[in-house]
Amino acid sequence: MFDMERYEIMFDTERYEIMFNAEKSVDFDLDIVVNSWAAAAKAVQAKTGIFVNAQFVEKMIAYHESNLSERVVAATATRNPTVITDKELFFDALIEVINNTKLILGNPYTSLTRLPAEVIVM
């Protein structure tokens, strides 16, 4: 069992999960999304000074109405408040990276989820 009392929460922040859906009309894989994000993030960094890094994983979504499934690439970005203190500036940079990535990928359906996060350094 994980005992939270033993660890110190270093900071509260936000975590964002971005889902890029690979539809029949827009096909891509993990490498293409990662490279597209990196190019978009570098362009945003040149403009704003903020580099939005992310972790990526390929997933499958199964639909309960049918036997269909859909491949998605999920990106997870977490704002480090010791580096970027202004959450609105980070969010604006994140949205710009997402939009630029979508343009490179052919404008796939994309969703964004924002969650509170507690970062614990162990």
DSSP 28: -
- pTM assigned to the model: 0.87
**Domain 4-120: assigned CATH number:** 3.30.70
Rounded distance, CA 37 to CA 7, Å? 33
* Amino acid letter for position 114: R
DSSP 26: S
Rounded distance, CA 48 to CA 75, Å? 21
Structural domain spans, the chain? 4-120
Q: Which of left, alpha, beta for 106 (phi over 0: left; psi -120 to 50: alpha)?
A: left
Per-residue pLDDT of the chain (122 residues), as tens digits, is 556 667 666 778 999 999 999 876 677 899 999 999 999 999 999 999 999 999 999 998 887 776 677 889 999 999 999 899 999 999 999 999 999 999 999 999 999 999 999 887 76
